[in-house]
């Protein structure tokens, strides 16, 4: 699976004071206590992609397009160690139009037809290997964990990160310690244990788990993907943005709607679009960034709505557990990304999260987890507020799979009593069912006509 023929020139830099920190497991600047971020030498990336061709853009696009369909096709723009050989084909999930969902979201508008043409879904509910976009961030973080010589990796998680770290660690033969709030969905706990990871349930919320992990990271030589490896981890999220642009035919959308927990993904999709513009791979144009949160844990959307530049931490109370971070690490930067782009942020209550999971499933055949319900519900509000217009190209980021959060739907559907395996029984059952739903009985003749 060696499709990696480029080598990025990159290093850690402080996001505020600009001090360089080389490459090491560290996420905070000791000088000013601001977060670190990876910066690249874009000139050398451009020449390594173009390989001396006259038409740099065409040649770079072709070089990328020839590579296998996974996130490693953008390796020049990822902080990967020298000689890195990917062990898993992560990413390159489908992007497709969602006309039936669009008709419902923009339903009472005259131009719902336009929305049908212009609404897209980026479906990371089918990201491999663990069915959420977190596989992307973990893939990059663990590449560096190995390069830094860690034999044990760890994380604090709201669920999907736990699954991804455990699975990738198993594949790479690393030990894994996973710290989770005790109230996570059973499928997310089981989906971590199955990979042989050490799962530590903490009687507390995510923010408390995360604080504990920062303390453990000081004590032990472990690679915490979202603590000391966080700058590397976060870069993996950019591949969602690279793929959206490539899959739209090397074009940026007008709007993206992104669910927010720590607020990292939304800022990294922005970074991805900016990098593609800088390299000339897409035409530069304004993109509006829209954040989505659950009302029961909405520190970022509350700040955007009230015009505040800083986060006021909240105590999470929502079924959207994957987004339940009350004190988001990248909240400040997420607010900035949204505001500077002319976007907005919305949030939806738990009942609307469930309705939206069902709406996406019934209109487009995609079963998303609660985070996807948050995204779809928030997008509906944004269409109704005319913040997203039907004639604009809009991408909804569906980031996780519904099979992991089936507990929120328990009680929504009745379990039918079984019937005898006889045709007459079925006919009787069909009549009863059609009568109760008030539809005229169909016969074989009319159905087959």
Binders of Zn ion: how many residues, by CB under 5 A?
6
**Among 8, 14, 260, 371, which residue sits at the site for Zn ion (rule: CB under 5 A)?**
14
CA distances from 341 to 44, 125, 239 (A): 28, 26, 20
Quick one: 116 or 354, whose CB is closer to ligand PLP? 354
The CB-side HSE value for 326 (13 A sphere, CA atoms) comes to: 16
Quick one: 371 or 376, whose CB is closer to ligand PLP? 371
CB of residue 334 vs ligand PLP: minimum separation in angstroms? 7
Which of Zn ion, ligand PLP, none interacts with 34 (beta carbon under 5 to 8 A by kind)? Zn ion
Which of ligand PLP, Zn ion, none interacts with 102 (beta carbon under 5 to 8 A by kind)? none
Give the Cα separation of 151 and 146 in Å (integer). Answer: 7
Looking at residues 24 to 53 of the shown chain, list those that interact with Zn ion (rule: CB under 5 A). 29, 31-32, 34
State the residues that interact with ligand PLP by CB under 6 A: 132, 134, 160, 259-265, 322-323, 369, 371, 399-400
Tokens standing for residue 434: 């059609």
Which of ligand PLP, Zn ion, none interacts with 265 (beta carbon under 5 to 8 A by kind)? ligand PLP
Which of Zn ion, ligand PLP, none interacts with 264 (beta carbon under 5 to 8 A by kind)? ligand PLP
Indicate the Cα dihedral angle 355, 359, 362, 364, nearest 10°.
-150
Quick one: 160 or 356, whose CB is closer to ligand PLP? 160
Spatial contact of 156 and 202, defined as CB atoms under 8 Å apart = no
Spatial contact of 23 and 11, defined as CB atoms under 8 Å apart = yes
Angle at 237 between CA 20 and CA 91, to 5 degrees: 135
Q: Which stretch binds Zn ion (CB under 5 A): 21-29, 186-194, 203-211, 404-412?
A: 21-29
**Helix, strand, coil distribution of the chain in percent, nearest 5:** 45, 15, 40
Which of Zn ion, ligand PLP, none interacts with 261 (beta carbon under 5 to 8 A by kind)? ligand PLP
Q: Kindly state whether residue 12 participates in binding Zn ion, applying the rule CB under 5 A.
A: no
Looking at residues 242 to 271 of the shown chain, list those that interact with Zn ion (rule: CB under 5 A). none
Residue 204, judged by CB atoms within 10 A of its CB (0-12, 13-18, 19+), counts as: middle
CB of residue 17 vs Zn ion: minimum separation in angstroms? 3
CB of residue 25 vs Zn ion: minimum separation in angstroms? 17
Q: What is the DSSP track for 398-418?
A: E-BBGGG-GGGGTTTSPPPPP
CB of residue 335 vs ligand PLP: minimum separation in angstroms? 12
**Among 1, 17, 419, 420, which residue sits at the site for Zn ion (rule: CB under 5 A)?**
17
CA distances from 136 to 58, 64, 185, 399 (A): 26, 18, 22, 11
The CB-side HSE value for 122 (13 A sphere, CA atoms) comes to: 28
Quick one: 144 or 160, whose CB is closer to ligand PLP? 160
Give the Cα separation of 187 and 340 in Å (integer). Answer: 38
Which of ligand PLP, Zn ion, none interacts with 371 (beta carbon under 5 to 8 A by kind)? ligand PLP
CA distances from 343 to 9, 57, 255, 306 (A): 32, 29, 8, 14
Q: Which stretch binds Zn ion (CB under 5 A): 14-22, 216-224, 309-317, 384-392?
A: 14-22
What is the binding site for Zn ion (CB under 5 A)?
14, 17, 29, 31-32, 34
């Amino acid at each position: 699976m060696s499709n990696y023929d480029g080598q990025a020139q990159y290093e850690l830099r402080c996001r505020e004071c600009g001090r360089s920190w080389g490459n090491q497991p560290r996420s905070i600047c000791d000088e000013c206590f601001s977060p670190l971020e990876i910066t690249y030498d874009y000139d050398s990336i451009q020449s390594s992609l173009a390989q001396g061709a006259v038409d740099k853009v065409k040649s770079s696009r072709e070089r990328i397009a020839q590579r296998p369909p996974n996130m490693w096709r953008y390796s020049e723009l990822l902080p990967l160690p020298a000689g890195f050989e990917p062990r898993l084909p992560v990413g390159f999930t489908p992007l497709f139009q969602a006309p039936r969902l669009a008709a419902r979201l923009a339903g009472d508008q005259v131009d719902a037809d336009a929305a049908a043409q212009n609404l897209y879904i980026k479906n990371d509910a089918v990201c491999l290997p663990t069915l959420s976009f977190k596989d992307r961030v973990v893939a990059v973080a663990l590449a560096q964990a190995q390069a830094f010589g860690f034999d044990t990796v760890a994380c604090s998680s709201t669920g999907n990160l736990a699954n991804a770290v455990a699975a990738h660690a198993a594949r790479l033969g690393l030990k894994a310690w996973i710290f989770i709030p005790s109230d996570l969905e059973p499928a997310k706990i089981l989906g971590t244990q199955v990979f042989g990871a050490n799962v530590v349930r903490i009687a507390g919320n995510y923010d408390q788990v995360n604080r504990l992990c920062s303390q453990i990271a000081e004590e032990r030589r472990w690679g915490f993907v979202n603590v000391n490896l966080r700058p590397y981890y976060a870069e993996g999220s950019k591949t969602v943005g690279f793929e959206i642009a490539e899959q739209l035919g090397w074009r940026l959308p007008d709007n993206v709607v992104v669910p927010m927990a720590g607020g990292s993904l939304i800022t990294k999709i922005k970074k991805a679009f900016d990098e593609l513009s800088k390299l000339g791979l897409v035409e530069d144009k304004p993109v509006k960034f829209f954040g989505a949160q659950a009302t029961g844990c909405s520190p970022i959307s509350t700040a955007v709505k009230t015009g505040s530049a800083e986060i006021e931490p909240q105590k999470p109370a929502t079924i959207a557990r994957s987004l339940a971070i009350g004190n988001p690490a990248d909240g400040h930067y997420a607010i900035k990304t949204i505001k500077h782009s002319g976007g907005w942020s919305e949030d939806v209550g738990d009942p609307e999260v469930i309705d939206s999971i069902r709406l996406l499933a019934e209109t487009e055949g995609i079963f998303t987890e609660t985070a996807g319900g948050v995204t779809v519900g928030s997008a509906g509000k944004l269409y109704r507020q005319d913040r997203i217009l039907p004639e604009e190209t809009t991408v909804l980021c569906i980031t996780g799979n519904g099979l992991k959060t089936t507990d929120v739907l328990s009680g929504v559907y009745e379990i039918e009593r079984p019937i005898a395996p006889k045709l007459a029984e079925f006919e009787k059952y069909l009549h009863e069912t059609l009568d109760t739903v008030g539809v005229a009985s169909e016969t074989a003749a009319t159905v087959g006509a």
